[in-house]
Amino acid sequence: MEKLLCPSMMCADFGDLAGEVSRLEKAGADLFHLDMMDGQFVPNYGMGLQDVEYICSHASIPCDVHMMCLTPGNYVEKLAALGAKLIYIHAEADPHAARTMQKIKDAGAKAGLALNPGTGVAAVEPLLNLADYVLAMTVNPGFAGQKYLPFVDEKLAELAQKKEKYGYKLVIDGACSLQVIARLSRQGVDGFVLGTSALFGKGRSYAEIMPELRAL
């Protein structure tokens, strides 16, 4: 199974963002992962609409947007118009998640469902019918550099087992170290959001690191 390697662009060098996009694409990135936060759903702020627009306009690979925001339905059509090909909303942030996920599809993007570490599969299973991608958080959302939460393993196994029934791809976000990527890729996880645990700030080129990650 081919891994989806998804650099988290919040970790990129914003002083040379066009160069980062180019270098990551040449190194073999599959998808750029863009975090939007509103300071309410999570206690932090991430990338803005102008960042999404800039990266989408400079990228030749697809971009996703991970909305760690309340009322995500207010933004999905704008994000799709800016070029986002996949939009994740949090089930916990939207009481009308099914409607919002359908709105994403109607806007021409893939619908993604993001789950916090403490959210069980049973609580969101009806929404899996609408999900093209499921993003399982393996740390509490909002900050880079956290430790992997081992209790999510059981949920990942359940989500991997249900992939065929519902037809989604399973991606994890948070503390994606080399060891985590190697272990979970053998257990049915399709994609990995790459931050400081495996890709950024390593003092080595992306062209060296990315093929090593793909080979795990």
pLDDT in tens, 122-142: 999 999 999 999 999 999 997
> Residue 42 in contact with residue 67, Cβ under 8 Å?
no
**Mean pLDDT, residues 20-28:** 98
Structure tokens at 211: 């093929």
Local confidence band at 54 (pLDDT 50, 70, 90 cut-offs):
very high
Q: Return the SS3 of 137.
A: strand
pLDDT in tens, 176-186: 999 999 999 99
Which residues, including other chains, have CB under 8 Å from residue 198's CB and lie 6 or more apart? 176, 177, 178, 181, 192, 209, 213
Average pLDDT across the chain, whole number: 96
Task: Specify the pLDDT at position 188.
Answer: 97
Task: Specify the pLDDT at position 70.
Answer: 95
Closest C-alpha to 36, from 83, 90, 85: 90
Chain-centre distance of CA 97, in angstroms? Answer: 17
Q: Return the SS3 of 86.
A: strand
Q: Which secondary-structure segment (H or E) carries 169? A: strand 169-173
Structure tokens at 64: 């996703």
pLDDT in tens, 70-96: 999 999 999 999 999 999 999 999 999
> Residue 69 in contact with residue 48, Cβ under 8 Å?
no
> Residue 17 in contact with residue 34, Cβ under 8 Å?
no
Res. 144: pLDDT tops 90:
no
**pTM of this prediction?**
0.97
Active site amino acids? 35, 173
